[in-house]
Chains A and B, each alone.
Chain A
């Protein structure tokens, strides 16, 4: 479509006038982001070894209010809310990281291919990518889930596939930009092979931007998984997922508000954290990007 169609956040830079200022602000942002996202990661890791109650333990009674032994109360089936939230953190991170790994690998490979391809192949791949991007992540994911089954791996596959088109398009643009530089032409004329060009010039030049974008995609993937779960297309019950916890708590939003609030707050904390990490990384790794464009 157009020049600025590169997935958005790359444009959202801070209006810092000097490189050192951007770096300073970048590290502050990075720090806050790391604390927020790190807290969720820590909870997820702890949940691997210890949770207050067994996830299937329904002995707490319906919608017990917060207080010992159930610090945050129980859900409508008598399961401990804190336990569910902790396991939900694991599920959210698994979904996010899994999708980004899949989408990143496929997308970068596809983008490199298009970037180096002949004009005809490049045009075809680009047109296909445009069409794939025209289906938003969620719709594509719904189709994949319908084709397989509602499960965490389906959700990861679906979100990863949808993401790969976006990553591929970005990679292609970045690769083209690097390849247009004079020194590449020079190094090609002097007989450097394409794989060496990729390894020595292309990848080192594009990875900072890619990394920043993948971090932002991680946040989007976490949100997408939550939406799928909310629609009943994520991991089936009784597995915990913040999205489904919210869906289930919807019926009791006035009588037991904590269940309808806590998973949402955690989602926001994780996604804000990840986004801040991405913003911070961009400013630290590539503070001059905006000016060189």
Chain B
């Protein structure tokens, strides 16, 4: 396990390095000099040159790249072109919104999807099995921003029981207010996300229900609950855990749209604005932190999966094998 852990961590570091290189190159392909955004009408050529120098866009690419790698290695994310403020603390202040939003939505989706998926599989011959299936079929086809729009229209504008968007200016000082403002966004994400999770849980359950060992156990006299509890759950959990890893990552980054719908000051809305303004340091920083998060989630999902599935021991992750 230790060797595996070390190799898996080495893979993580290499992935990060590659990811930051890809990021750097992608961003430098963007046209338009960010210096433009700094200046107003009437700027002289000298002012433009000064702005370019200030943000470093007049230096050769390799030099910029070395600076960038050095910064990433020390987690120094640089200074925003537009606001001239350091990027790191700014991202940290946005995580206060994005991380709870992601985790709450994720938890809610899991809490809904696991029992529903199980029932949909176990009771596929009853009337509500296909119904649940149909609902989840609808759920994966619904655009997340539309769900958000309709929820705002209903609960904020029509019934006036929840805020339409925004986040308390004092963050979590008053947890009640903060939670209230997250209710609709969390429900929006969880609704859409649980739809696809239900399908995974259902198919994993079906696999287990069909499995020979479960039949054997039942033939040997175990009750269904007993057999399911002792063997089925663990086997069904293996594929679900790895999917959970991906879904968590997707939620984390999918927050871009939802944060825009609900005017939440999170990482996603920050990124959308920075892209429009060609504020490279912010775009780089947010994408770097997000990629880091996604890779770490994958790493953890792999570890958990190995812990519960002995068959996988001795292999590295599939892709690095």
Residues of A within 8 A of B298 (CB): 1, 130, 134
Interface of B toward A, CB cutoff 8 Å: 11, 14-15, 18-19, 22, 26-27, 29-31, 121, 124, 137-138, 140-146, 149-150, 152-153, 157-158, 196, 199-200, 202-204, 206-207, 209-210, 238-239, 242-243, 245-246, 249-250, 253-254, 256-257, 260, 271-272, 275-276, 278, 283, 287, 290-291, 294-295, 298, 301-302, 305, 312, 317-320
Chain A stretch 1-48: residues in CB contact (< 8 A) with chain B: 1-5, 8-9, 11-15, 17
Question: Would A230 and B257 be within 8 Å (CB), given that A254-B153, A267-B143 are in contact?
Answer: yes
Residues of A within 8 A of B149 (CB): 246, 250, 253, 260, 264
CB distance from A38 to the nearest CB of B (A): 16
Q: Which single member of A2, A247, A276, A290 contacts B318 (CB below 8 Å)? A: A2
CB distance from A221 to the nearest CB of B (A): 12
Label chain A's interface by main secondary structure.
helix
Contacts A14-B206, A134-B291 known; list 19 others, CB within 8 Å: A1-B317, A2-B312, A4-B242, A12-B200, A15-B121, A15-B209, A130-B298, A135-B287, A142-B271, A142-B272, A146-B275, A147-B26, A223-B141, A227-B144, A246-B145, A247-B145, A253-B149, A253-B157, A260-B153
A198 adjacent to chain B (CB < 8 Å): no
Residues of A within 8 A of B204 (CB): 11
Contact A4 B146 (CB under 8 A): no
Residues of A within 8 A of B202 (CB): 12
Contact A231 B260 (CB under 8 A): yes
Contact B242 A15 (CB under 8 A): no
Residues of A within 8 A of B294 (CB): 134-135
A129 adjacent to chain B (CB < 8 Å): yes
Contact B203 A11 (CB under 8 A): yes
Contact A8 B145 (CB under 8 A): no
Q: How far is the CA of A219 from the CA of B14 in the complex (A)?
A: 33
A54 adjacent to chain B (CB < 8 Å): no
By beta carbon, the residue of chain B nearest A7 is: B246
Contact B199 A9 (CB under 8 A): yes
Residues of A within 8 A of B144 (CB): 227
Contact A131 B22 (CB under 8 A): yes
Q: How far is the CA of A254 from the CA of B159 in the complex (A)?
A: 12
By beta carbon, the residue of chain B nearest A263 is: B146
Q: How far is the CA of A257 from the CA of B150 in the complex (A)?
A: 10
Contact A143 B15 (CB under 8 A): no
Contact A226 B18 (CB under 8 A): no
A217 adjacent to chain B (CB < 8 Å): no
Contact B253 A136 (CB under 8 A): yes
Residues of A within 8 A of B153 (CB): 253-254, 257, 260
Q: How far is the CA of A226 from the CA of B256 in the complex (A)?
A: 14
Residues of A within 8 A of B318 (CB): 1-3, 5
Contact A15 B145 (CB under 8 A): no
Question: Would A4 and B239 be within 8 Å (CB), given that A131-B19, A227-B144 are in contact?
Answer: yes
List the 8 closest A-B pairs by CB distance, nearest first. A271-B141, A15-B206, A4-B239, A2-B242, A264-B146, A126-B319, A12-B199, A253-B153
Q: How far is the CA of A226 from the CA of B257 in the complex (A)?
A: 11
CB distance from A45 to the nearest CB of B (A): 22
Q: How far is the CA of A264 from the CA of B320 in the complex (A)?
A: 41
By beta carbon, the residue of chain B nearest A148 is: B31
Question: Would A138 and B253 be within 8 Å (CB), given that A127-B14, A254-B153 are in contact?
Answer: yes
Residues of B within 8 A of A134 (CB): 15, 19, 249, 291, 294-295, 298
CB distance from B284 to the nearest CB of A (A): 11
Q: How far is the CA of A110 from the CA of B177 in the complex (A)?
A: 50
For B152, B254, B278, which residue has the most chain A Cβ atoms within 10 angstroms?
Answer: B254
Residues of A within 8 A of B254 (CB): 136, 138
Residues of A within 8 A of B203 (CB): 11-13, 15
Question: Would A126 and B320 be within 8 Å (CB), given that A136-B250, A231-B260, A267-B146 are in contact?
Answer: yes
Q: How far is the CA of A279 from the CA of B140 in the complex (A)?
A: 13
Residues of B within 8 A of A276 (CB): 137
Chain A stretch 141-167: residues in CB contact (< 8 A) with chain B: 142-143, 146-147
A128 adjacent to chain B (CB < 8 Å): yes
By beta carbon, the residue of chain B nearest A276 is: B137
A123 adjacent to chain B (CB < 8 Å): yes
By beta carbon, the residue of chain B nearest A2 is: B242
CB distance from A1 to the nearest CB of B (A): 5
By beta carbon, the residue of chain A nearest B18 is: A131
Contact A146 B30 (CB under 8 A): yes
CB distance from A281 to the nearest CB of B (A): 15
By beta carbon, the residue of chain B nearest A10 is: B203
CB distance from B277 to the nearest CB of A (A): 10
Contact B196 A264 (CB under 8 A): no
Residues of B within 8 A of A8 (CB): 196, 199-200, 243, 246
Contact A13 B287 (CB under 8 A): no
A101 adjacent to chain B (CB < 8 Å): no
A243 adjacent to chain B (CB < 8 Å): yes
Q: How far is the CA of A134 from the CA of B293 in the complex (A)?
A: 9
Residues of A within 8 A of B250 (CB): 136
Q: How far is the CA of A147 from the CA of B298 in the complex (A)?
A: 28
Residues of A within 8 A of B145 (CB): 226-227, 230, 243, 246-247
24 example contacts (A-B, Cβ-Cβ < 8 A) are as follows A1-B301, A2-B302, A3-B242, A4-B242, A5-B318, A8-B200, A13-B203, A15-B206, A123-B320, A127-B319, A134-B298, A136-B250, A138-B257, A139-B256, A146-B278, A226-B143, A227-B145, A230-B143, A231-B256, A246-B143, A257-B153, A267-B141, A267-B146, A268-B138
